[in-house]
Amino acid sequence: MSQPIGNKTVSTNEIPCRGTLTVTLSVEASPNINENPADMVLVLDRSGSMEGEPLANLKLGAKAFVDIIDENTDGQTDGQIGGGSRIGVVSFSDDATQDTQLITSVDDLKDAIDDLVSNGRTNHVDAFNKAIALLSAVSDNQKIIIMFTDGETTVGGSADAIAEAAKALGIQIYVIGLTGNGGINIDALTAWASSPKDEFLRITPNAAELVELFENLAQTISGPGATDIVIEEELTEDFTLVSIGTPSHGAVEQTGDRTFVWRIDELGVTADETATVSFVIRHTGVRDGVLEVNEDVTYSDSEDHEVDFPSPSVLVDCDDEVIVIPEPCPVPMALTVEGCRDALVFTEGEVLLSSLGRIVEVDVTIRSVCPGKRVALALLLYEVTDEGLELSRGVKTMVIPAHDESSCRDVLVRCVKFVLPETLDTAGTPNAICDERNLHLKAIAHYIDTDFVCCGMVTVVE
């Protein structure tokens, strides 16, 4: 198995609001067939439904498979399977026959394929049995069955148990199904195939595609591991990266609050290898419930492998927290440059920029706000000089609306923005945009709604 396999897992299925979890990204690759020779059995359906074009295309596809293995095992199409690998042919209808032993002669393999004649019913159990018998000899080679069929089992009973027994012996099972000749049991084919299913199971309704399917499968089995791997990870807007661990292979570069790139020079070139990297993410979005972790994961390598990664989800429970965003985000403006123009005149509106500046965005949590109570909140921003002097840089006041939860809740006030002109920079060179600036934020909050009544004067009558 040379096709890399991607996986992605999470450390927990549930976190609280603002909680964190660890995500592990992995990719597995195996060496090419020269480094890891294989014994392969082509198990080919020759039942009556294969008559005509389906059988003709099956023969073309199977022979193309043999040619590609021939070339990839010794770098040339010389009529001999090289590198210690071997191929055998089993065909089946009412029962199965071993049309060849495990051999290296391309001509003998093609002759056996050309001699196939369609007739009879479909016995998958005997087909698996004959293939397993070919692979039973003591050998250090990896063992592979390529099962092709166009119909449901009609004699011999279910092949699920014998397929599981083959996999228990360490045999990898690839399955190719043709659906256009009266239907196949896709559930059965899925059960027979090794995992991951999207790699070991290929189904087509079109007999004309069989040649391409067999060719792609031969390249998958015989190709190299993977080199010059680039994996780009992007989290959904509900999460941000907290930290990235050291990967087992290659190097990782964080490219944004929600993105990173993982580069691996080579993987699975001389032996089976699995590369992993773990990273911690935090829930920072406004949504809760069941949330997907990744927006996108893309994979590329020099061998043009296609690798898919699962998209795990996590339940974010915000029952103990209320989220308020008092200031809406700016509305983006659409700009379009047509043709080959390299300049555009655009009127943005009444926006005054008095100096260079930064926008500071802060989140504040108000603890234990009881239902039905509005809160008055003031945020005061200060810049601190090297001497410890606090210089005012802005104040925001706002009313936080009451919530109607059943009990007191923490209220998270998100995305409060302050403009911080560079001309007010006390930490370094005025108007410099790269200085580190020391800021303090102070928050003052109290209930607006209260049932407090002053006790007043008490008159005592004797």
The reported pLDDT for the residue numbered 432 is 56
Confidence of residue 1 (pLDDT cuts 50, 70, 90): very low
- Domain span(s) for CATH 3.40.50.410 in the chain: 38-222
- Please check the confidence at residue 159 and state whether its pLDDT lies above 60: yes
Stated pTM of the model: 0.53
pLDDT digits (tens, 9 = 90+) for 408-431: 888 889 889 898 877 777 765 555
Instruction: Please name the CATH architecture into which domain 5-31+225-319 falls.
Output: Sandwich (2.60)
Looking at residue 334, what DSSP letter applies? P
Condensed to tens digits (0 to 9), the pLDDT of residues 183-241 reads 678 889 999 999 878 778 888 888 888 888 898 888 878 766 788 999 999 999 999 99
Q: Is the pLDDT confidence value at 459 over 70? A: no
> Does residue 230 contact residue 261 with C-beta atoms inside 8 Å?
yes
In this prediction, residue 235 carries a pLDDT of 96
- The DSSP annotation for 21-73 comes to EEEEEEEEE---TTTS-EEEEEEEE-SGGGTTHHHHHHHHHHHHHHHHHHHHH
Range 74-81, long-range pairs (CB < 8 A, 24+ positions): 74/34, 79/105, 79/106, 79/107, 80/104, 80/105, 80/106, 81/105, 81/106
pLDDT at 367: 87
Q: Tokens 């339940």 appear where?
A: 315
Query: Who wins on pLDDT, 101 or 371?
Result: 101
Domain with CATH 2.60.310 in the chain: 323-337+352-447
Residue 167 has pLDDT above 90, yes or no: yes
The average pLDDT across 357-362 equals: 80
Nearest alpha carbon to residue 9 among 309, 307, 298, 231: 309
Percent of the chain at pLDDT > 70 equals: 85
Output the CATH code of domain 38-222. Answer: 3.40.50.410
96-137 residue pLDDT tens: 999 999 999 999 999 999 999 999 999 999 999 999 999 987
Averaged pLDDT score across all residues of the chain = 86
Q: Is the pLDDT of residue 28 over 80?
A: yes
Residue 247: per-residue pLDDT: 95
| Cβ-count burial 21-45 (b if 16+ within 10 Å, e if not) | bebebbbbbbbbbbebbbbbbbbbb
Q: Measuring CA to CA, how many Å separate 143 from each of 115, 173, 190, 192, 221?
A: 25, 9, 19, 15, 11
- State the span(s) of the chain assigned CATH 2.60.40.740: 5-31+225-319
Rounded to whole angstroms, the Cα distance separating 83 from 100 reads 19
Instruction: For domain 323-337+352-447, give the CATH number.
Output: 2.60.310
Residue 146 reports pLDDT greater than 70 = yes
